[in-house]
């Protein structure tokens, strides 16, 4: 199986070569476009781009103007972009298991940036990307990532990703290379797997959803943030792209450890995607991902495989609906054997957005044990900007039939999130 995925990486390189004859840096409509961008919204370069987007807000805080002018000067003089991000999340559940807390408060801190060493007019570039990161609980409460276990939720964790054991780490450090007129590229180094595996517009902490059903397809496996690996993607026509990737299956978040790759156990994935045009690849897309994860012998986790199908199609400046499916054999430490979710983001004035979604999952017997009920979640949130750099997102979820809490037919989880971007 490993040989097949390595062969896919090689074949993609060959497929990308004919693209060099295409028109430089333009979409078929004639609009100028940015280079490919290998990752989804959680990738370093995409997070930096989003932070620079103009947005309206309730208040303007001019005392940050000097700082942002300095950042712009550094970018102009040295081709170095950077930023600070702080995510804070408080959640309160309607019930919890005996002896467990029903409140959670945690944070995610990031210092991220990239250094573009060269960039040609064709859109080809070479850059170093980095992300220094930590995730922890706050003020003696458990982290939101633990709230699912505390309430008896199995697959559809209500605060997914806000863990309490992610120490400060250089979680991302890689070389990203663009070629084929910016329509193909690769990245190699320490990678955040969730920025590449089934990369999806709502697979991020920065939009409205925070339940596992929407943040990361529950049928997909995980590995530590900061796994040694490589990814390559290429547009083989104006509408069709292919991708392949490899990540160290034993990497652990918050630990700068290269030794785990010596185990020779990997998470592998290949994908095919469609978009109407290169310039619409982030907002109108359909993609299919097949993955395979080796057995983790020392950890006692079985091998697994599965697939995911995701579609998002922005209709206009207001409505952004999506739907996702996933199926796995339950191995690889996945949360679910089968899952489906759908929802919509509705944009409002001043950069505000309302999200509403529903998801269903069948918990993995290999991960959680047999005989568990299927779980269903409905989540809604509202995003509004206090200032250009401070966003608040109140959120409410109801999870039906929490699999590890059979005495409860439903659990409510309400919370509020703050995002500071500097």
Q: Which residue has the higher pLDDT, 349 or 10?
A: 349
pLDDT score of 12 = 40
Across-strand partners of 137? 106
CA-to-CA distance for 288 and 273, rounded, in angstroms?
Answer: 6
Statement: the pTM of the whole predicted model exceeds 0.85:
yes
Going by pLDDT thresholds of 50, 70 and 90, the confidence category of residue 60 is confident
What is the per-residue pLDDT across 93-152, written as a single tens digit (0 to 9) for each? 999 999 999 999 999 999 999 999 987 666 688 999 999 999 999 999 999 999 999 999
**Which residues, 6 or more positions from 289, have their beta carbon under 8 angstroms from its beta carbon?**
197, 198, 220, 269, 270, 271, 307, 308, 309, 310
Concatenated DSSP letters of 71-137: HHHHHHHH-EEEEEEEEEEEEEES---TT--SEEEEEEEEEEEEEEEEE-TTS-EEEEEEEEEEEEE
What is the per-residue pLDDT across 220-246, written as a single tens digit (0 to 9) for each? 999 999 999 999 999 999 999 999 999
Residue 7 pLDDT exceeds 90: no
pLDDT score of 122 = 62
pLDDT score of 255 = 87
What is the per-residue pLDDT across 37-50, written as a single tens digit (0 to 9) for each? 778 999 999 999 88
What is the β-pairing status of strands 353-363 and 80-93? unpaired
Q: What is the CATH number of the domain that holds 176?
A: 2.40.160.10
Taking alpha carbons only, the member of 319, 362, 359 closest to residue 342 is 359
Q: Residue 179: which domain range? A: 2-421
Query: Which backbone phi and psi does 227 adopt, to 5 degrees?
Result: -90, 135
Q: Which residue has the higher pLDDT, 24 or 47?
A: 47
Structure tokens, 364: 């993995």
pLDDT score of 419 = 96
Q: Which strand (E) or helix (H) includes residue 391? A: strand 390-400
Structure tokens, 110: 């990031």
> Domain total for the chain?
1
């Amino acid at each position: 199986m490993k040989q097949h995925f390595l062969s896919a990486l090689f074949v993609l390189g060959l497929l990308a070569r004919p693209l060099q004859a295409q028109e430089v840096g333009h979409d078929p409509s004639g609009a100028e476009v940015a280079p490919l961008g290998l990752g989804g919204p959680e990738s370093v370069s995409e997070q930096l781009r989003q932070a620079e987007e103009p947005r309206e807000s309730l208040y303007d805080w001019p005392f940050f103007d000097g700082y942002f002018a300095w950042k712009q000067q550094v970018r102009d003089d040295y081709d170095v972009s950077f930023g600070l991000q702080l995510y804070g999340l408080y959640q309160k559940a309607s019930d919890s298991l005996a002896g467990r807390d029903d409140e959670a408060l945690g944070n995610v801190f990031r210092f991220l940036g990239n250094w573009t060493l060269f960039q040609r007019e064709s859109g080809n570039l070479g850059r170093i990307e980095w992300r220094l990161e930590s995730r922890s609980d706050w003020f003696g409460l458990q982290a939101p990532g633990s709230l699912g276990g505390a309430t008896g939720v199995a697959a559809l964790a209500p605060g997914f990703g806000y863990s309490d054991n992610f120490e400060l780490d250089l979680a991302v450090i890689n070389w990203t290379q663009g070629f084929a007129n910016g329509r193909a590229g690769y990245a190699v180094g320490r990678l955040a797997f969730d920025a590449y595996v089934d990369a999806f517009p709502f697979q991020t902490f920065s939009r409205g959803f925070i339940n596992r059903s929407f943040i990361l397809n529950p049928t997909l496996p995980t590995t530590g943030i900061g796994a040694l690996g490589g990814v390559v993607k290429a547009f083989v026509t104006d509408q069709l792209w292919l991708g392949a990737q490899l990540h160290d299956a034993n990497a652990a978040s918050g630990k700068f450890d290269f030794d785990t790759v010596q185990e020779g156990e990997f998470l592998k994935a290949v994908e095919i995607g469609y978009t109407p045009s290169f310039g619409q690849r982030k907002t109108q897309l359909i993609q299919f991902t097949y993955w395979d994860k080796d057995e983790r012998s020392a950890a006692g986790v079985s091998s697994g495989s599965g697939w995911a199908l995701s579609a998002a199609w922005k209709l206009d400046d207001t409505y952004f609906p999506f739907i996702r499916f996933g199926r796995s054999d339950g191995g690889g430490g996945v949360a679910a054997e089968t899952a489906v979710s759908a929802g919509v983001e509705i944009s409002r004035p001043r950069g505000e957005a309302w999200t509403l979604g529903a998801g269903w999952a069948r918990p993995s017997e290999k991960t959680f044990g047999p005989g568990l009920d299927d779980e269903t979640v409905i989540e809604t949130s509202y995003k509004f900007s206090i200032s250009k750099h401070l966003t608040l997102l109140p959120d409410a979820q109801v999870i039906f039939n929490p699999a590890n809490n059979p005495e409860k037919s439903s659990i409510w989880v309400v919370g509020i999130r703050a995002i500071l971007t500097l």
